[in-house]
Amino acid sequence: MGILSRMIPTEDASARKREIEEKLKQEQETLSFIRENLEKSDQLTKGMVSILSSFESRLMQLENSIIPVHKQTENLQRLQENVDKTLSCMDHVISYYHVAKDTDRIIREGPTGRLDEYLACIAKIQKAVEYFQDNNPDSPELNTVKARFEKGKELLEAEFRNLLTRYSKPVPPILILDAISVDEELEVQEEVVLEHLPEAVLQDIICIAGWLVEYGRNQDFMNVYFQIRSNQLDRSIKGLKEHFRKNSASSGVPYSPAVQTKRKDTPTKKVPKRPGTIRKAQNLLKQYSQHGLDGKKGGSNLTPLEGKDDVLDIEIDSYIHCISAFVKLAQSEYALLLEIIPEHHQKKTFDSLIQEALDNLMLEGDNIVSAARRAIMRHDYSAVLTIFPILRHLKMNKSEFDSTLQGTAASTKNKLPTLITSMETIGAKALEEFADSIKNDPDKEYNMPKDGTVHELTSNAILFLQQLLDFQETAGAMLASQESSSSASSYTSEFNKRLLSTYICKVLGNLQLNLLSKSKVYEDAALRAIFLHNNYNYILKSLEKSELIQLVTVTQKRAESLYRELIEQQIISYKSSWFKVTEHLSEKNMPVFQPGTKLKDKERQIIKDKFKGFNDGLEELCKTQKGWAIPDKEQRDFIRRSQKTVVSEAYRAFLQRCANISFTKNPEKYHKYHPEHVEQMIEKLFDTSA
C-alpha cells in the first residue's frame, strides 16, 4: 500500500511535466513565428525605404529639371500677354483715330428714328475726345472729334425741339371740360388723364433730356421746353374760351357732350354752374309777374336791369371755366415736367412755363375789375354782379391754386390773392355805393308811376338783393374785407352772414326812406297810400318768396311784422279817402221827423245834398281809382272787398232811413244807384281793363 501510495504522486508529476513541456514547446513555436515575421517585416521595411529613397531622389532630379522650364514658360506666357495687350491697346488707340470717319454718316443723318444708335455713336465720339484730351491734347484729331461731338449735341437739341414742337398740341376744349367737370350721380370719380405726348415720343424726349443734362452740360433745352409747353398751355386755354364763345352763342350750353353722355367718370372738382346773373334777374322778374306781384299789363314800372345781354354771361362762364382749366392743365404740365426736367430745375422751369397763361388770366380778371369800376362810376351797380360768381369760384379754388403753384416765386403765388383782394375791394365799394344810391335816388315826378304801382327803384333794389342770396358767403366776405384789420382774425361764416344781414337791412331802410320821400310827389293822399302799400307789399312778398327774409331776420327779428304793420297803415290811409263819400251817408245833420210829417224845404234840401254828395263822390272816386293799380291780386281783392263792405253797409243803412221820406218829386234823380250797383262799381277799382 505504501509503495502504491508513493507511485501515484509520481505519475501526476510526470503528467504535469509533460503538460508544461507541451506549452513551452507551443510558446517556442509562437516565438519562432513572431521572429520570422519580424524579420520579414524588417526586410519589407528596408525594401520600402530603399524604394522611397530612390523615388525621392528621382523627384528631386525631376524638380531640378522642371522648375527652370516652368519659369521659362511663365515668362513666355507673360510676354505673350503683354504682346496681346499691346496689340489690343494699339487697336483701341487706332480706333479713336477712325471715330470721326466711322460716325460721320450717322451724325450727319441725325437721331430721328434711331435714337439709341445715335446716342451710342455720340458715346464713341465722347470717349475719343476724352482720350485725346488725356493723351494727346495737341493733336488735330482732338479738334475733329470735338467738332463732331458739338455737332451731335446740336442735332440732339434740335431733335428735342422738333419732337416737342411736332407732338405738342393744344388740349381739345371738350377734353378739358371733361377733366374739370364732375358727374354728381357718381360716388367715385375717375380722373380724366390728359396725355400731352405719345408714350414713345415722351420716352425719346426723356432720354435726350437725360443725356443733355449728364453729358451735354447744357440747360438751354429747359428754356426750349418751357417756351413750347407754355405756348401750348396758353393756346389750350384760349381754345376753351373760343369754344365757349361759339357754342354758347348758338346753343347756350357750352359744356362738353361727353359730360352728359359718354363719360360718367369725370374728375373731382365740381365746375360751377352758369351764374347767369343778369339773365337770372330778368327771369325772377318774369316769375314774380306770373305770380301776381306786378299785376296788370302795362300797369307796372318793373323793369329788368337792362343794358346787359347773354354775351356778359358767356364771358363770366368762360372766365370761370378757364380758371379751373388753368389749374388742371398746370397740374398736368407739372406731372409731365417731372419726367423730363432735372429735379433742381423743376420749380423754376414750371414757374416760367405757366407765366404767360397765368398773366393772361390775371389780366382778364383785372379787366373785369376795371369794367366794374367804370360801371360803378356811371352808377351802374348791377355790374358788381359779374364779380360775385368769379370771386366765389376763385376763393373756392384758392387752396388748389396755391397747392399747384407751390414752390414757384412769391410774385407768382401772390397774383391770385392780389386779384381776389381787388375784386373784394371793388365789390364792397359797389355794395356801399348801391346802398347810398337807394337812399339818394332823386324824386323825379316824371319817373313816378301814375297808377301808384311798384317803383322801378324798388324792383331793381330787391332784384339786386336777391342776387346776393346765391353769393351770401362771398358778399359777406366782401363786406368783412373792409373791416379793421384788428378784427380780421375773428372773421367767420356767421360773422360774414351778420354783416350781410346788416347791409340788406340798411338797403331796405334806405329804400323805405326814399319811397316815403317819393310818395310826397303825389298830391292825392290816397294815391300816395296806394303807392306806398304796393311798394311795401312788393318788398314783403319778395322777401318771403326768397330766402331774403331769413337773412334779414338774422339782425332784424321783427322785419316781417314791421312790413305788415306798414302795409296795414297804408290800407287805413287809403280807406280814409272814402270818408268824403261815406260821410254823406251818416246821420249827421239828418232831420228828425215823424212818419207822415211833411218835411220843410231846408230838411228836404239836406237829404238831396246827401244823395248828391254821395253820388258825386262815388263817381269821382271810382273814375279816379279805376286807373290806379294794385298788382297783388290778393291785396287787391282784400281792399276791394273791405271797402265794398264798408260803403255798401253804410249806403244800405242810409237808404233804409230815407225809405219812407218824401223829399223830392223825382227820387230817381237822387237815388241813382242801388247797393248792388255800388258794389259792382267798387269791384272795378284798380282795373284799367274794366
- In contact, 533 and 520? CB cutoff 8 Å: no
Give tens-digit pLDDT for 191-232.
777 888 899 999 999 999 998 888 867 778 899 999 999 999
- Segment (H or E) for 130: helix 115-135
- Distance, in Å, from the CA atom of 386 to the CA atom of 288, rounded to the nearest integer, reads 23
Give tens-digit pLDDT for 509-564.
999 999 999 999 999 999 999 999 999 999 999 999 988 999 999 999 999 999 99
Q: pLDDT value at position 302? A: 33
- Distance, in Å, from the CA atom of 628 to the CA atom of 451, rounded to the nearest integer, reads 4
HSE at residue 687, side-chain half, CA atoms within 13 A, is: 13
- Distance, in Å, from the CA atom of 422 to the CA atom of 365, rounded to the nearest integer, reads 9
Q: What amino acid is encoded at 450 in this protein?
A: K
Q: pLDDT value at position 291? A: 38
Q: pLDDT value at position 87? A: 54
Q: What amino acid is encoded at 285 in this protein?
A: L
DSSP labels, 136-192? -TT-HHHHHHHHHHHHHHHHHHHHHHHHHHHH--PPPHHHHHHHH---TT-SSPPPP
Its pTM stands at 0.71
- In contact, 209 and 163? CB cutoff 8 Å: no
Q: Find all residues with CB under 8 Å of 524, minimum gap 6, and list them.
A: 577, 624
- In contact, 180 and 269? CB cutoff 8 Å: yes
Rounded to 10°, the helix 675-683/633-657 angle is: 160
- Distance, in Å, from the CA atom of 354 to the CA atom of 367, rounded to the nearest integer, reads 20
Q: pLDDT value at position 596? A: 58
DSSP labels, 310-358? HHHHHHHHHHHHHHHHHHHHHHHHHHHHHHHS-GGGHHHHHHHHHHHHH
Q: pLDDT value at position 397? A: 92
- 270-to-184, 255, 329 alpha-carbon distances in Å: 8, 13, 15
- Distance, in Å, from the CA atom of 366 to the CA atom of 439, rounded to the nearest integer, reads 30
- In contact, 282 and 304? CB cutoff 8 Å: yes
Spell out, as residue ranges, where the chain has pLDDT lower than 50: 1, 3-4, 183-188, 252-309, 485-489, 690
What are 428's three cell numbers?
364792397
